[in-house]
């Protein structure tokens, strides 16, 4: 275990404010040693561990994200509530400084044992609603660091998550180059999947691509959507209805009414309160450029903000305020016990940058079935149960 993995935090308590949570059921899947890059708050890790991918090492440079990972891991071990990240060592460092051998040493495994490497390099450089600096932005070059780690670790399989804007940026030249490099002259068969995650029962519209590599030449088909809008008569009876903002927020209570991590709201001026109150469901506030959520629809994509700050939730459908980091975390399908380190802007950035754990679990089951040739099934309800998400 690395020395920096033994650090503790004074600003993220493991008692969770006295709130009691039921111990989660443990899945019985055979563990597959895995490595997590650009881990953030652990959204992909939570989902992948549901079906037995055992995260042995996380690489993340953000201090508060690392505190989030370590403290939640230790909270699970201390209380017996969950086993997420139980085997994980957290490397807190810029990935440019991290070698494949350092990862293997931290993970306590040999190269041939690495079954999966997964992660989502920061994607703001390619966001369609951002400035789209692409590879001119330092974050764009992190794609090539993912390639380097794959080259050094030679895992059996890998998954790279990014924004769908990568498909259209510069006429997909970057995406095509990335896939070509990740194939390593035919060593890996590459599949590119493009998903609207709301189509899989996540209460948020969020489009992302997943680049999946198989060293055994296995072509993985895309997942079939399970949810959709019931406004389309052709989908009735075929798909389940989208999960909605109203379902997620129901029963949570206002900030201050319940003792739950990260459920503290911003203090707004009277002018902002009146402006938010005047908005209709789905309408955008022109000054803050966030939207009033519609309780009968999935949320808009969570706004991350810039490196200097600016991350914020959207506007609560019933109360004239921005949603809290906990409410945003629910829209991302994090369990309520998963606490995020830092002041208000740190948790919302961790939440907004994450892959929703529920979607990650469904994707991980699909990957395990097709790339590892295991006849497993994971129902939507089972995924919720294993994650401890009891509000959907």
Q: Which segment, 15-19, 93-97, 167-171, 257-261, is predicted with the most confidence on average? A: 93-97
- Tokens representing 138 are 């330092």
Query: Which CATH number does the domain housing residue 199 bear?
Result: 3.40.50.150
Which residue numbers are catalytic? 123
State how far the Cα of 66 lies from the Cα of 304, in Å rounded to an integer. 18
State how far the Cα of 171 lies from the Cα of 233, in Å rounded to an integer. 35
Name beta bridge partners: 291.
284
Residue 142 domain boundaries: 30-229+356-387
Nearest to 203 by CA among 236, 231, 227: 227
**Any domain includes 335:** no
Binned at pLDDT 50, 70 and 90, residue 16 comes out as low
State how far the Cα of 211 lies from the Cα of 178, in Å rounded to an integer. 9
Q: Is the pLDDT of residue 365 over 60?
A: yes
Confirm if 264 and 312 have CB atoms less than 8 A apart. Answer: no
| Total number of domains in the chain | 1
**Any domain includes 249:** no
In the prediction, which pLDDT does 326 show? 97
**Any domain includes 365:** yes
Cβ neighbors of 33 (< 8 A, separation 6 or more) are: 54, 56, 107, 109, 113, 114, 115
Q: Is the pLDDT of residue 121 over 60?
A: yes
- The model's pLDDT over 206-225, given as tens digits with 9 standing for 90+, comes to 999 999 999 999 999 999 99
- The model's pLDDT over 34-76, given as tens digits with 9 standing for 90+, comes to 999 999 999 999 999 999 999 999 999 999 999 999 999 999 9
Nearest to 315 by CA among 282, 356, 270: 282
Binned at pLDDT 50, 70 and 90, residue 247 comes out as very high
pTM for the structure as a whole: 0.91
In this structure, the chain runs to a length of 392
For 290-304, b/e burial (b = at least 16 CB within 10 A) is bbbbbeebbbbbbbb
**Any domain includes 105:** yes
């Amino acid at each position: 275990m690395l020395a920096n993995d033994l650090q503790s935090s004074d600003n993220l308590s493991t008692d969770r404010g006295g709130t009691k949570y039921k111990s989660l059921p443990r899945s019985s899947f055979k563990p597959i040693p895995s490595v997590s890059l650009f881990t953030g708050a652990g959204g992909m890790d939570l989902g992948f561990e549901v079906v037995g991918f055992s995260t042995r090492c996380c690489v993340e440079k953000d201090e508060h994200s690392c505190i989030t990972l370590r403290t939640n891991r230790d909270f699970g071990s201390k209380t017996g509530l969950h086993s997420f990240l139980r085997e994980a060592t957290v490397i807190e460092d810029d990935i440019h400084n991290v070698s494949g051998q350092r990862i293997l040493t931290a993970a306590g495994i040999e190269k041939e044992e690495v079954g999966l490497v997964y992660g989502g390099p920061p994607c703001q450089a390619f966001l369609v609603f951002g400035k789209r600096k692409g590879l001119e932005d330092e974050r764009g070059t992190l794609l090539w660091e993912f390639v380097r780690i794959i080259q050094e670790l030679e895992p059996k399989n890998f998954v790279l998550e990014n924004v769908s804007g990568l498909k259209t940026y510069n006429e997909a030249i970057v995406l095509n180059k990335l896939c070509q490099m990740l194939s390593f002259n035919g060593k890996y068969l590459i599949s590119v999947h493009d998903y609207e995650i709301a189509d899989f029962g996540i209460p948020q519209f969020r489009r992302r691509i997943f680049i999946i590599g198989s060293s055994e030449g296995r072509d993985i088909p895309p997942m079939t959507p399970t949810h959709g809008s019931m406004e389309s008569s052709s989908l009735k009876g075929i798909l389940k209805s989208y999960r909605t903002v109203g379902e997620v927020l129901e029963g949570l209570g206002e900030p201050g009414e319940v003792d739950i991590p990260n459920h503290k709201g911003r203090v707004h001026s009277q002018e902002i309160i009146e402006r938010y109150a005047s908005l209709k469901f789905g309408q955008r506030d022109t000054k803050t450029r966030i939207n009033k959520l519609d309780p009968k629809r999935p949320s808009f994509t969570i706004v991350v903000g810039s490196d200097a700050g600016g991350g914020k939730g959207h506007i609560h459908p019933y109360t004239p305020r921005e949603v809290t980091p906990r409410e945003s975390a629910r829209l991302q399908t994090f369990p309520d016990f998963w606490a995020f380190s830092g002041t208000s802007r740190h948790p919302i950035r961790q939440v907004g940058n994450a892959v929703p754990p529920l979607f990650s679990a469904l994707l991980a089951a699909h990957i395990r079935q097709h790339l590892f040739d295991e006849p497993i099934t994971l129902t939507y309800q089972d995924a919720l149960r294993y994650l401890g998400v009891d509000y959907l």
